[in-house]
Amino acid sequence: MLLRGLLLLDPGRPPTPGWLRIDGDRIAEVGEGASPGAARPDAGAPDCIITPAFIDAHIHLPQIDSVGADGMELLDWLNRVIYPAESWWGRSGATHMLRTAVRRMIHQGTLGFAGYLTSHGDVNAAATRALASGAGLPCRPRCIVGRVAMDREAPDDLLEHDRWRAGRAPSPTPLLPEPDHGARRPRCSISANPRFAISCTAELLAEIGWTVRDRRAAGAPIFTQTHLAESPAECARVARLFPDAPNYTSVYADAGLLDDRTLLAHCIHLADDEWRCIAERKSVVVHCPTANIFLEAGLFDLDAAREHGVRLALGSDVAAGPDVAMPRVARAMIEMAKLRRMTIAPEAHVPTPEQAWSMITRGNADALGWADAGRLEPGAAADLLILRTPETWLDEHLVGRLIYNWSAELLVSRIVEGRLVAPDTI
C-alpha cells in the first residue's frame, strides 16, 4: 500500500511532503517528495497529513458508557456508579461493551491502549481472546490489558473470583492467563491489574508480585497496571488498611510491583520520597488530567515528575475521564499545567502542543514498551491516521490547531496493521 501526504515525522517541525510504502503490517519505506515511479497512491493526497495513530496509556473498557455521573468523590463514585457497571459487564454486557469501547477508540484515532477489564474470570478470558483475534471487532487494536484483581471492599460478585482462587491451593485458575493470539502477529498482551491498594489485601498484592516475577523469569514481558494516590480519601483509607507501611507507594514496592514495566495512574498526592522511589524503580506515571478534573481529585504536579526524572505517559481514564479522544486529553494536560501556573506555581512548566502530541503517539508507545509504534519510520507498525485540515491550519501552529480543534471529522482514513479500516465498520 502506498500513502501520500504531509508526513508528521516530528511534531516539533513542519510536516514534510512525501510518501509511505506499507508492506504487510509494517512501514517499509518513507520518502520525501513525489511518490516513487508512476505509482498512484492507495490513500492520502498532497494536502493530507499522515501521522502515527494515538495511544491511550490508561482506560477502563467496561466503563465506556459510565461517563458523566457527576458530583461524587472517587470512592463514592466507584461504589455508586462503577462497581454496578462492572457487575453488569460480568453478567451479560461484556461482548457489547467491548465492541463499543474499541469502536469509540478507533473512531477517534486511538489504535493502541493499556487497559483494564473487570475482576471476572471466564468473561474476561473471552474478552482477551476477542481482542487478540479481532473477532467481532472492526480491527485488532494493539493493547496491554488485564483482568482486575481485587478481594475486598467491593461488591461480592466483583470479589468472588479472587476469593475463590485464594481458597484453593494450588489455584485451578492462573492469575495471568495468556490470550490465544492465533496465527497472526500478536497484538494483545496480558498485564497484572491490581485495582488499587484499597481493594487488594497484602496477600493478593504479594501473589501478583510473585506471579509477575515468575512470568518474567520465563521470558514473558508482563506489565503491571494499577492506581496510586488519586484522591485524599483514598490515601487516608490506604493508610488505615496498611498501618505499617511508610506511605502508599511503599505498599506496592513491598509487594514487588514497582519496576520499569509498571504503569501507575494518577499519582497526584505523593510525598517527595514517593517520587524518588518511583523514579528509582523506573516505573511509569500515567497522567489522567480529564479524570482528575472530573472527580476534582487534584492538580497533577508535572514539575515534581520532571524534577525527579519520572517517566510519564498520558491516559484518558474513561469513565472518570469523560473523553476517549487523546488530542483532547493532551489539551487537558496543557490546560491543567496552565491552571497550576496561574494559581499555585507561577514557575510551573507548561507542555507545548508539540510535546503533548508526542506524548499521545511516540511517548505513550515508548512507555508501553512498543519501540516500533508511534512513529513514521521503516520497520514501524503501520497503525496510521490520515487527516485533512482547513488550509489555513497548515502553518507553524498546526499541531496546536489539531489539539485545540480536535474532531474525528478530521480523520480521512484509519490504517490498522497496514489495512484501511472501512468507516462503516466502526
Q: Locate the domains of the chain by residue range.
A: 2-52+375-425, 54-367
Nearest CA-CA partner of 360 in 375, 348, 372, 378? 375
State pLDDT tens for residues 311-356.
999 999 999 999 999 999 999 999 999 999 999 999 999 999 999 9
How far, rounded to the nearest angstrom, does the alpha carbon of residue 58 sit from its chain's CA centroid? Answer: 3
Closest CA to 284 of 259, 321, 318, 255: 259
CATH number of 2-52+375-425: 2.30.40.10
The dihedral sign for the CA sequence 349, 354, 360, 365: negative
pLDDT greater at residue 122 or residue 179: 122
- Tell me which of 159-168, 245-254, 288-297 is least confident: 159-168
Question: Across residues 232-244, what is the average pLDDT?
Answer: 98
- The Cα–Cα gap between 285 and 89 comes to 28
* Superfamily of structural domain 54-367: Metal-dependent hydrolases (3.20.20.140)
Q: How far is CA 90 from the centre of its chain?
A: 22
What are the pLDDT digits (tens) for 58-113?
999 999 999 999 999 999 999 999 999 999 999 999 999 999 999 999 999 999 99
Of all residues in the chain, the percent with pLDDT exceeding 90 is 91
- Least confident span in 178-192, 325-339, 405-419: 178-192
pLDDT band at 414 (very low <50, low <70, confident <90, very high): very high
Q: What is the pLDDT of residues 113-123, one digit of tens each?
A: 999 999 999 99
